Amino acid sequence: MNYNKTFGDSKLEALVGFSYQSFRNSGINSSAWGFGTDDMDQMGDDMKSIVNNIANQIPGSFQQFGYAPNLSGVYVNRLFPDVAQEFISPSGSIGAIKSLAVDSYDNTTELQSYFARVNYSYKNKYLLTATVRADGSSSFSKDNRYGYFPSGAIAWKLSEEDFLSDSNVSTLKLRVSAGITGNQEGVGYGNYVRRERWGGLGISDSGEIFLNSGVGAVAFAEPNLKWESTVQYGAGLDFGFNDDRLSGSIDVYSKETQDLLFLINTAQPAVNPTQFKNLEDSKIVNKGVEFGLAYDLVQSEDFNWSASFNVAYNDNMVESLTGEYLSANVNGPGLTGATAQKLQEGYPLFSYFVRVFDGYNADGTPIITEDPQFVGKSALPTVTGGFSTNLSYKRWTMSAYLSGQFGHYVYNNTANAFFTAGAFNTSRNVLPETLTSGEGLGASAEASTRFLEKGDFVRLQNLSFSYNLPLSGKGTFKSMVLSLTGQNLLLFTNYSGLDPEVSSSTGGSLPSIGMDYGAYPNPTTITFGINAKF
């Protein structure tokens, strides 16, 4: 619902609303034995027909059903309203398949939100915005279901003041903001409550199904699970000169994220190796500055040229955390259990904790420290930037965009696993220069700074050309534009791997970045297009 009111030099806009989202994930897994045909299409049709026929005759909900020659009837395993196992005799033919085992799943998560926003302006110079949200998620227990997230911002348009009316300043606005945002991404269905299911039922080689006696836990309760929250403070300045021919902005910010939601390893033995938890007394702080500038270099009837760039610096630190958590598994022969990163108080996110490599001794054994240690490096870039330019000449246009990341390191797990002298014992995927590296053939390739490389890069992200054909507009085609676009055309980096912008996951419970283990590089694509109007 909206409300707008203007009174004198003041303008008020208000909005209140409600949103509801439901996400359902359901389906069945079926296996069968003893088909009456060897035609694959007919097998699928028979299986689908029998499954649907039986499912439609089962009253109420079910988790599993099936039949086999060693069972008297069709078994049905239920979870609701009570855990129960029973047998039914459905009508309809099931003779096309001798044995059938079906396991179903049906998970629903819901998110409902109440929100309100008020915008107030006075003389279009002084601006105020206030918002509040109440978000409720079924991923959390009743006591922690709702998170409350207010925010506010004020701005002063100095360019509207009389003392700047005769200047070439077209835009000058000072902004200050503060607010809280929430996060529940990835938590999903039922992680706060103990859940039980019937165990999986398979069909033996002889077509028999052996029913189990009951249900077992598939997840333990975590009733204290709650929203992750981020408190952010920011200030900024927007500016423009000569009708914004030259324009830009500068922003500074501080973000404090608390009650971090992570999927962490559970104490074994357990039904699941990992479980979502809010890390105890956790707080991560990001502080940074962002700057952007745009300029219309040439403005004429036939030729126009504009360019812009942005750069950002971010400082990250884990300022509070009880305990420490290993992450970023290192994979490969002889590397079982090795990790490269650690989440720990007093260090940045994705900090590398590895042994320090210091060359080889006389017999080719790597010289490394005994224990992993913080090596002053992180996988998180400290500086990011971009540059774009657009040119047009009569019917021709060209645009280009370059991006870059700096100040971070990549762990070359691919080299650690395959490109060492020791890999000759287990693999043929070894580089020839390994033979002259000074490393002995019997040396083990421990996870160390030997495989830690700078990940700085600049990438030509996009380059595009287009031509607007000079059509009269009276024929079949009213207009036609031909275009040629390239993505990821050039990469400038000293990283020895295929691409320093890696996103390959190497397992483990905590998220990790900067681990290159056979990661696919960003593909280079070239696209030709025609945009025609009839």
Tens digits of residue pLDDT in 457-515? 999 999 999 999 998 777 788 889 999 999 999 999 999 999 999 876 655 567 889 99
pLDDT given at position 269: 65
Q: Which residues lie closer than 8 Å to 415 by C-beta, 6 or more apart?
A: 451, 496, 497
d(C-alpha 214, C-alpha 197), whole Å = 8
pLDDT given at position 403: 98
DSSP secondary structure string for all residues of 24-39: EEEEEEEEEEEES---
Residue that has been written with the tokens 């359901």 in this structure: 26
Nearest-CA neighbor of 53 among 24, 90, 26, 85?
90
pLDDT given at position 92: 85
Judged by DSSP in three states, 451 sits in helix
Q: Each residue of 407-426: b (16+ CB within 10 Å) or e?
A: bbbbbbbbbbbbbbbbbeee
- 56, amino acid identity: N
- 522, amino acid identity: N
Q: Domain map of the chain by residue range?
A: 22-109+192-219, 289-534
**Bridge partners, residue 315, by sequence:** 287
Burial of 267 from C-beta contacts in 10 A (0-12 / 13-18 / 19+): exposed
pLDDT given at position 97: 96
Q: What totals of helices (H) and strands (E) does the chain contain, helices first?
A: 2, 31
Q: Which residues lie closer than 8 Å to 213 by C-beta, 6 or more apart?
A: none
pLDDT given at position 191: 85
pLDDT given at position 94: 85
pLDDT given at position 51: 96
pLDDT given at position 360: 86
d(C-alpha 316, C-alpha 288), whole Å = 9
d(C-alpha 152, C-alpha 394), whole Å = 46
pLDDT given at position 115: 98
Q: What is the 3-state secondary structure (H, E, C) of 42-99?
A: HHHHHHHHHHHHHHCCCCCCCCEEEECCCCCCEEEEECCCCCEEEEECCCCCCCCEEE
**Residue segments in the chain with a per-residue pLDDT below the cut of 50:** none
Read off the pTM: 0.86
